[in-house]
Amino acid sequence: MADTKYIFVTGGVISSLGKGIIASSLGKLLQARGYKVTIQKLDPYINIDPGTLNPYEHGECYVTVDGHEADLDLGHYERFLNQPTHRDNNITTGRIYQNVINKERKGDYLGKTVQIVPHITDEIRRNIKALGTKYDYDFVITEIGGTVGDIESLPFIESVRQLRWDLGKNCLCVHLTYVPYIAAAQEVKTKPTQHSVKQLQESGVQPDMLVLRTEHLLNKDILRKVALFCNVDVDAVVQSVDVSTIYEVPIRMQEQGMDEIILRKMGMPIGEKPAMQPWREFLDKKKNAKETVRIGLVGKYVELPDAYKSINESLLQATIYNDRKLDLQFIQSDKVTEANVEELLSSMDGIIIAPGFGQRGIEGKFIALKYARENNKPTFGICLGMQCMVIEYARNVLGLKEANSTEMEPHTPYNVIDLMEEQKNITNLGGSMRLGAYKCKLQKGSLGYKAYGKELIEERHRHRFEFNNDYKKQFEENGMKCTGINPDTGLVEVVEVPALKWFVGVQYHPEYNSTVISPNPLFMSFIKAVVENK
């Protein structure tokens, strides 16, 4: 491959139209044709990364293998493309400014007034291009966060304008807009799309392709009208109608020839239309599943499903591969009491105790865990969920009534979960947790070992607290086994109660490592246990 091609995905009219899904679908289609593809997200906010953001603000914080706290769209990119992303795949305005200001302090711009154009836009362009050259990709798809017209995204759009000038045929812009349906008039309306394209044109960017998000199928006349008003080829106006699963979007885009249009416009060989076989098999499995499994996710951000995005998707994938439908119930941890736990959890086939931070809702997690353990329900604790498993076990099985994590109670007499040694002198909260992929050695014969089918695994982390090894012997003698250990540090990564059917806690986040093509083994094992237990 001679030159890397750059494709930008911008959005207009309203936010939350699914630019990430469109970018991922296009990436998937190009990848299926044998191209090396990556997807990048540019976020217009000033935070250096989303690690310090509350999930209410921004949904889940995703973590890459190289330990970057990233936008949740990177999760979609990985789930679709089945390949890891890295720190370079997610850049925020904050990071761009930080780099420029650091360079200014070093004297790199000596004698110059440092300005948005050219210095900020140069830094943006450098970050976009660097991704292509560093890893030798055929295609870099860059999703621009926010909506065209936002003050914050202006420097990004200006950088797109410059890059199009710079790269010529090697650069292209896909613009995603919304076509609303007015029920009273029984009509779809294209005016917002026209305005949004006009806004993009005012910034000097002419889109090459339009994707119209719509709830109702649009007829050819509508697509022709949009093409005419927006200076876009008729065949380059495609639609994205609401579908029952995001994983169907690549197929819908393929039907409309999205990848072919892109390749033709970029002067690339088109070749055979890929069969998308493993992908279609997955969708068929989803369609054909009849029986349902009901999973209760006990966490504190239940009003906002995006807060646990990767867990939802990992559960969905594992359920589909186990030929079942997923009925996922969100249970707000601070609402769980001794009095209602039976009512809330008895109909669940399996229980997940969610990751999280801080005190709120923590006692509800202990109550849910006690119920799950005493009723031998398949139960999966993730990160804070695993820590809660350990605390509940300490309190109710080891008899250490005031056991806790020092995160919740710094003066607990039984600190079964404690701050990691290397965390003790950290004062800056941004990007300073134990982050990214670490090794874990699984004990032969354990549920973890059986699930992964091997001894040495790597999974991603995002935490400051850990299992306190001073208590390890006491736990093991009383039935909770430490079956996964980091071979370099001795940190406990997996706990299990072998006397129960499936009661596993993991300090890591297996949900960051589960894709349509390779679902996470531990989620697969959990759902299998749920199915067998039903």
* Residues marked as catalytic: 383, 509, 511
What minimum distance in Å lies between the beta carbon of 341 and ligand GLN? Answer: 22
Burial class (CB in 10 A: 0-12, 13-18, 19+), 345: buried
What minimum distance in Å lies between the beta carbon of 94 and ligand GLN? Answer: 22
Q: How far is residue 140's CA from residue 345's CA, in Å, rounded to a whole number?
A: 45
Residue 414's φ and ψ, nearest 5 degrees, are -125, 85
Q: How far is residue 99's CA from residue 123's CA, in Å, rounded to a whole number?
A: 8
What minimum distance in Å lies between the beta carbon of 42 and ligand GLN? Answer: 25
Residue span 369-408 as binding mask against ligand GLN, x where in contact by CB under 6 A, dash where not: --------------xx----------------------x-
Q: Are 141 and 37 in contact (CB under 8 A)?
A: yes
Residue span 285-314 as binding mask against ligand GLN, x where in contact by CB under 6 A, dash where not: ------------------------------
What minimum distance in Å lies between the beta carbon of 387 and ligand GLN? Answer: 6
What minimum distance in Å lies between the beta carbon of 162 and ligand GLN? Answer: 39
Please report where in the chains the tokens 């660097």 appear, as a residue. Answer: 130
| Interface segment toward ligand GLN; rule CB under 6 A; list 95-103, 243-251, 352-360, 445-453 | 352-360
Give the nearer residue to ligand GLN in terms of CB position, either 118 or 305: 305
> Measured between alpha carbons, how far is residue 346 from residues 284, 293, 331, 352, 529 in Å?
31, 13, 12, 14, 17
Give the nearer residue to ligand GLN in terms of CB position, either 211 or 353: 353
Q: Greatest CA separation found in the chain? A: 74
Give the nearer residue to ligand GLN in terms of CB position, either 33 or 461: 461
Nearest C-alpha neighbor of 471 from the set 462, 484, 482: 482
What minimum distance in Å lies between the beta carbon of 459 and ligand GLN? Answer: 13
Among 11, 180, 355, 519, binds ligand GLN (CB under 6 A): 355
493 is a contact residue toward ligand GLN (CB under 6 A): no
Residue span 74-113 as binding mask against ligand GLN, x where in contact by CB under 6 A, dash where not: ----------------------------------------
Q: What is the 3-state secondary structure (H, E, C) of 431-486?
A: CCCEEEEEEEEECCCCHHHHHHCCCEEEEEEEECEEECHHHHHHHHHCCCEEEEEC
Nearest C-alpha neighbor of 13 from the set 167, 183, 185, 212: 212
511 is a contact residue toward ligand GLN (CB under 6 A): no
What minimum distance in Å lies between the beta carbon of 395 and ligand GLN? Answer: 18
| Interface segment toward ligand GLN; rule CB under 6 A; list 162-170, 243-251, 355-363, 446-454 | 355-363
| Interface segment toward ligand GLN; rule CB under 6 A; list 223-231, 319-327, 329-337, 353-361 | 353-361
**Cβ neighbours of residue 160 closer than 8 Å, sequence gap 6 or more:** 8, 10, 144, 173, 205
For residue 72, the surrounding DSSP H or E stretch is none
Nearest C-alpha neighbor of 73 from the set 121, 120, 19, 119: 19
Nearest C-alpha neighbor of 170 from the set 129, 118, 231, 121: 129
Per rule CB under 6 A, count of chain residues that contact ligand GLN: 10
> Measured between alpha carbons, how far is residue 75 from residues 24, 40, 84, 117, 171 in Å?
10, 11, 9, 32, 25
Give the nearer residue to ligand GLN in terms of CB position, either 220 or 424: 424
What minimum distance in Å lies between the beta carbon of 207 and ligand GLN? Answer: 39
Give the nearer residue to ligand GLN in terms of CB position, either 240 or 507: 507
| Interface segment toward ligand GLN; rule CB under 6 A; list 11-19, 149-157, 462-470, 473-481 | 462-470
**What is the identity of the amino acid at 311?**
I
Give the nearer residue to ligand GLN in terms of CB position, either 29 or 353: 353
| Interface segment toward ligand GLN; rule CB under 6 A; list 67-75, 139-147, 222-230, 354-362 | 354-362
Among 294, 305, 357, 397, binds ligand GLN (CB under 6 A): 357
356 is a contact residue toward ligand GLN (CB under 6 A): yes
465 is a contact residue toward ligand GLN (CB under 6 A): yes
Give the nearer residue to ligand GLN in terms of CB position, either 125 or 463: 463
Residues in the chain: 534
Q: How far is residue 49's CA from residue 63's CA, in Å, rounded to a whole number?
A: 11
Q: How far is residue 213's CA from residue 438's CA, in Å, rounded to a whole number?
A: 40
462 is a contact residue toward ligand GLN (CB under 6 A): yes
What minimum distance in Å lies between the beta carbon of 149 and ligand GLN? Answer: 35
Nearest C-alpha neighbor of 312 from the set 355, 251, 359: 355
467 is a contact residue toward ligand GLN (CB under 6 A): no
Which 136-155 positions form the footprint of ligand GLN (CB under 6 A)?
none
Nearest C-alpha neighbor of 388 from the set 336, 456, 449: 336
- The residues that touch ligand GLN, with contacts defined as CB under 6 A, are 355-357, 383-384, 407, 462-465
